């Protein structure tokens, strides 16, 4: 991994710590009665996938994601304060409180579309990638989906279309070992989802999703392939869902020893220790990064707390560019 | 002005749009090379003029076709995708109902999805209920989707051009039994404003509110009633969303009687919305109860006598009008 510069290593570590701090804070807030509306579907333990993939992209490359999106969006450069405000349903949120945690769209950093309909993101990404190919922009689209989503027909349709048309899209399957309460072998016909790439005429790679440098290196290889016009690629990153599907899911169906084993493989802590051992970080720098990122999350929370909720009647806004008249007309004339 | 078939009018609209704006592309199953090599088919000969970059034959993948439209429109293109037959809309519906219609709202108005979905509808081509199913009320029920349906070649062109350049998602329903019907169509960039109904035949005793191929059923009924001295006004909505409420109110104000008519089934059909709207907003103007003429609540039957039985007839419209005179 000699091609990864010391500054990039440090940057990737910082981003992973930011994401972990952000979601750890959400875990705490979700435990406080009435603090957060709705459910929190978190990606603690999957930070290396988000950061390793996004660092292999150019800023104008498009990101399409799913219900477990906070890490992807923070890595792409979304503002933590506006994300936190959105998660709390505030008017200063990135989508004015219309999205909440589940459907965040941050077009200002080219994170264009997020769908919580499992398996819906890949067809959206194929559409975005088609537009890039059509315009000859040289940009690509990356889409994140889970091992559970891989069972959806829409994923098959999107990967087949992308393969036939050689669309510039990187399909990233974050295999976090659990789809709802089902383990992989209970819902997936193959041991490795990456093997399905053969069926769509695209390269498939399986990577240790808890190792940010391996994720980055594999992403770089596939992004180069895609950007050179050779068509799409699939990367499966094996990682683990450390929290349940929502903070009220206590994962009683997950073996405690399995959870503990993956806890020891924590991508954030392991990478910090590795950089320390290899001399890329000092203990003092590591602590300073931790403090700085926790401080940013505190700042984000304070910003969100100060922000008002949108007015109830603003629920009527933002559906249409040109609104049909019939919906607001209460009276005859 | 040229005399074109309904299908050629659709072609003409697509040619005008594609010649004037490179953001417009066409995609779907057989939109380029088709098993139906008929010059009256709506995308006939587009591939020859615009090439494979802009006329995209897709795999048989309705979800991917609709997803292509959503994703590409979010990037600033103006996709015109085709879902071959209305019943296949179920396969595309997640992309339209949960994504085309909702992603702008969820973004807080940051994103827009200026896509057009063309879909063929109609009763009478004897392919049975998995190729014939008028699902327009489903589409119209989804906030975030606009829905239009032309009954003439001129409107087929003008509504489609308006849909292509409308900044919101529009479902354009094409009456495939009318593809061969000919009529005068203005040249060039013809726009028919979305949300403007048209009085096809003025009348004074009752109003029939309808759209699509059923317009001709209504006109036939109006001719029959005229023989008996009854004057029936025929209002073609052209656009279900946006709905031209004022045109309905204005007509019923004059006639005092309302009959709704569509080839879709009756229960929860679009006629129910029109009837409820009139009853809610102008009950005092009504001289008689509202009547709905629609298909029976069964799938579209295959065998010819049963398919004919299914489609609402002029006789049924005449009977409905007479029952409230």
Give the closest-approach CA distance of A117 to chain B in angstroms.
8
- A32: Cβ–Cβ under 8 A, 6 or more apart, which residues? none
At residue A329 the predicted structure's pLDDT band, cuts being 50, 70 and 90, is low
Q: What's the mean pLDDT when you consider all of chain A?
A: 95
Of A157, A318, A333, Cβ closest to residue B109: A318
What share of chain B has pLDDT > 90, as a percent?
99
A123 touches chain B (CB under 8 A): yes
Q: Which of residues 79-98 of B touch A (CB under 8 A)?
A: 79, 94-95, 98
What is the mean predicted confidence (pLDDT) over B6-27?
Answer: 98
Residues A10, B162: Cα–Cα separation, whole Å: 52
Give the pLDDT confidence score for residue A327 in this predicted structure: 58
B72 touches chain A (CB under 8 A): yes
Give the closest-approach CA distance of A273 to chain B in angstroms.
39
- Alpha helices for chain B (secondary structure H): 6-20, 46-54, 62-74, 89-93, 103-106, 136-140, 153-165, 214-227, 245-255, 270-282, 304-310, 314-322
Is A72 in contact with A238 (CB distance < 8 Å)? no
**Phi, psi of A119, deg, nearest 5:** 90, 0
Catalytic pick among B131, B133, B141, B262:
B131
| Tens-digit pLDDT profile for residues B179-220 | 999 999 999 999 999 999 999 999 999 999 999 999 999 999
To probe the interface with A, which of B23, B68, B248 has the most A CB atoms within 10 Å?
A: B68
- Chain A residue with CA closest to B114: the answer is A321
Q: Which two tokens stand for residue B51?
A: 């090439």
**Phi, psi of A273, deg, nearest 5:** -65, -40
- Identify the CA nearest to A78 among candidates A29, A22, A131: A22
Of B71, B104, B241, Cβ closest to residue A127: B71
Q: Which of residues 13-52 of A touch B (CB under 8 A)?
A: none
Give the pLDDT confidence score for residue A328 in this predicted structure: 53
A94 contacts B104? CB cut-off 8 A: no
What share of chain B has pLDDT > 70, as a percent?
100
Q: CB neighbours (10 Å) of residue A78?
A: 22
- Identify the CA nearest to B190 among candidates B215, B156, B166: B156
- When computed from its CA atoms, the radius of gyration of chain B, rounded to whole angstroms, is 19
- Chain B residue with CA closest to A113: the answer is B103
> Measuring CA to CA, how many Å separate B32 from each of A264, B52, B69?
56, 8, 17
Least confident of A68-77, A316-325, B226-235: A316-325
H or E element: which one contains B176?
none
Q: Is B99 one of the annotated active-site residues of the chain?
A: no
What is the mean predicted confidence (pLDDT) over B45-53?
Answer: 97
B98 contacts A115? CB cut-off 8 A: yes
Which chain A residues touch B70 with a CB distance below 8 Å? Answer: 113, 123-124, 127
B106 touches chain A (CB under 8 A): yes
| Tens-digit pLDDT profile for residues A78-131 | 999 999 999 999 999 999 999 999 999 999 999 999 999 999 999 999 999 999
**Phi, psi of A195, deg, nearest 5:** -60, -25
At residue A301 the predicted structure's pLDDT band, cuts being 50, 70 and 90, is very high
Is A53 in contact with A215 (CB distance < 8 Å)? yes
Residues A35, A295: Cα–Cα separation, whole Å: 20
Which chain B residues touch A155 with a CB distance below 8 Å? Answer: none
First and final CA of chain A: distance in angstroms? 70
What is the mean predicted confidence (pLDDT) over A60-72?
Answer: 98
Of A317 and A1, which is predicted with more confidence? Answer: A317
- B316: Cβ–Cβ under 8 A, 6 or more apart, which residues? B293
At residue B225 the predicted structure's pLDDT band, cuts being 50, 70 and 90, is very high
Give the pLDDT confidence score for residue A325 in this predicted structure: 73
Give the closest-approach CA distance of A230 to chain B in angstroms.
17
Q: CB neighbours (10 Å) of residue B91?
A: 19
- Alpha helices for chain A (secondary structure H): 6-31, 47-54, 70-76, 80-87, 121-135, 153-165, 184-187, 212-225, 256-264, 267-277, 283-306
- Identify the CA nearest to A10 among candidates A209, A293, A235, A240: A293
At residue A247 the predicted structure's pLDDT band, cuts being 50, 70 and 90, is confident
- What ipTM, to 2 d.p.? 0.96
Q: Residue B136 pLDDT more than 90?
A: yes
A110 touches chain B (CB under 8 A): no
Is A52 in contact with A212 (CB distance < 8 Å)? yes
Residues B26, B50: Cα–Cα separation, whole Å: 10
Give the closest-approach CA distance of B312 to chain A in angstroms.
28
Give the closest-approach CA distance of A135 to chain B in angstroms.
9
The angle subtended at Cα A54 by Cα A48 and Cα A57, nearest 5°, is 145
Give the pLDDT confidence score for residue A330 in this predicted structure: 46
At residue A2 the predicted structure's pLDDT band, cuts being 50, 70 and 90, is low
Residues B59, A201: Cα–Cα separation, whole Å: 15
At residue A1 the predicted structure's pLDDT band, cuts being 50, 70 and 90, is very low
Is A126 in contact with A162 (CB distance < 8 Å)? yes
Maximum pairwise Cα distance, chain A: 75
Long-range contacts of A204-208 (CB under 8 A, 24+ apart): A204/A233, A204/A234, A204/A235, A204/A236, A205/A233, A205/A234, A205/A235, A205/A236, A206/A235, A206/A236, A206/A238, A207/A235, A207/A236, A207/A237, A207/A238, A208/A237, A208/A238
pTM of this prediction? 0.97
Residues A42, A78: Cα–Cα separation, whole Å: 17
C-alpha A303: how far from chain center: 23
| Tens-digit pLDDT profile for residues B30-43 | 999 998 889 999 99
What is the mean predicted confidence (pLDDT) over A196-202?
Answer: 97
Q: Which of residues 260-289 of B touch A (CB under 8 A)?
A: 281-282
Residues B114, B76: Cα–Cα separation, whole Å: 8
Of B56, B95, B166, Cβ closest to residue A322: B166
């Amino acid at each position: 991994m000699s091609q990864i510069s010391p500054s990039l290593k440090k940057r990737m570590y910082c981003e992973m710590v930011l994401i972990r701090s952000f979601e750890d804070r959400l875990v705490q807030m979700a435990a406080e009665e009435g603090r957060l509306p709705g459910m929190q579907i978190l990606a603690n333990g999957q930070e290396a996938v988000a950061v390793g993939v996004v660092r292999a992209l150019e800023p104008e490359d498009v990101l399409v994601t799913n219900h477990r999106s906070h890490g992807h969006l923070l890595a792409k450069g979304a503002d933590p304060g506006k994300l936190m405000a959105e998660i709390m349903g505030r008017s200063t949120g990135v989508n004015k409180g219309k999205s909440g945690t589940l459907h965040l769209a941050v077009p200002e950093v080219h994170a264009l579309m997020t769908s919580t309909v499992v398996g819906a993101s890949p067809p959206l990404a194929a559409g975005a990638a088609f537009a890039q190919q059509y315009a000859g922009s040289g940009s690509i689209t990356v889409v994140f989906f889970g091992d559970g989503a891989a069972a959806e027909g829409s994923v098959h349709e999107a990967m087949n279309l992308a393969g036939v048309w050689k669309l510039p899209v990187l399909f990233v399957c974050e295999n976090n070992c659990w789809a709802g309460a089902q383990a992989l072998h209970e819902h997936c016909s193959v041991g490795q989802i990456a093997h399905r790439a053969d069926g769509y005429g695209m390269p498939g790679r399986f990577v240790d999703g808890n190792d940010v440098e391996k994720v980055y290196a594999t992403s770089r290889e596939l992004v180069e392939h895609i950007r050179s016009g050779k068509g799409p690629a699939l990367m499966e990153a094996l990682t683990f869902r450390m929290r349940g599907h929502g903070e009220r899911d206590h994962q009683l169906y997950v073996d405690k020893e399995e959870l503990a084993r993956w806890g020891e493989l924590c991508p954030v802590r392991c990478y910090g220790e590795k950089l320390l051992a290899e001399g890329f970080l000092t203990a003092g720098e590591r602590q300073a990064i931790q403090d700085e990122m926790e401080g940013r999350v505190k700042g984000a929370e304070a910003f969100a707390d100060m922000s008002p909720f949108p007015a109830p009647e603003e629920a009527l806004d933002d559906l249409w560019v040109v609104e049909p008249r019939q919906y607001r007309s209460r009276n005859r004339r | 002005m040229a005399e074109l078939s309904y299908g050629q009018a659709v072609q003409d609209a697509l040619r005008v749009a594609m010649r004037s704006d490179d953001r417009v592309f066409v995609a779907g199953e057989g939109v380029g090379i088709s098993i139906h090599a008929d010059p009256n088919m709506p995308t006939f000969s587009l591939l020859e003029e615009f090439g494979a970059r802009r006329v995209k034959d897709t795999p048989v993948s309705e979800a991917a076709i609709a997803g292509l439209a959503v994703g590409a429109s979010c990037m600033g293109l103006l996709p015109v995708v085709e879902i071959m037959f209305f019943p296949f809309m179920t396969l595309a519906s997640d992309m339209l109902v949960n994504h085309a219609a909702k992603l702008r709202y969820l973004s807080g108005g940051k994103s827009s999805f200026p896509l057009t979905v063309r879909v063929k509808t109609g009763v009478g081509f004897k392919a049975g209920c998995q190729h014939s199913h008028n699902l327009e009320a489903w589409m119209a029920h989804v906030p975030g989707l606009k829905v239009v349906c032309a009954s003439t070649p001129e409107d087929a062109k003008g509504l489609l051009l308006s849909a292509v350049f409308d900044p919101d998602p529009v479902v354009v329903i094409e009456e495939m039994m009318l593809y061969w019907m000919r009529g005068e169509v203005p040249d060039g960039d013809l726009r028919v404003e979305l949300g403007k109904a048209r009085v096809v035949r003025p009348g004074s005793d009752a109003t029939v509110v309808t759209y699509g191929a059923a317009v001709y059923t209504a006109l036939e009924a109006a001719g029959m009633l005229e023989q008996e001295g009854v004057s029936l006004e025929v209002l073609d909505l052209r656009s279900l969303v946006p709905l031209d409420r004022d045109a309905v109110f204005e007509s019923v104000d004059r006639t005092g009687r309302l009959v709704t008519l569509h080839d879709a089934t009756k229960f929860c059909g679009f006629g129910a919305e029109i009837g409820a709207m009139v009853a809610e907003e102008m009950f005092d103007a009504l001289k008689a109860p509202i009547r709905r003429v629609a298909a029976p609540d069964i799938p579209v039957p295959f065998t010819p006598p049963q398919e004919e039985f299914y489609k609402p007839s002029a006789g049924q419209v005449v009977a409905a009008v007479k029952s409230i005179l």
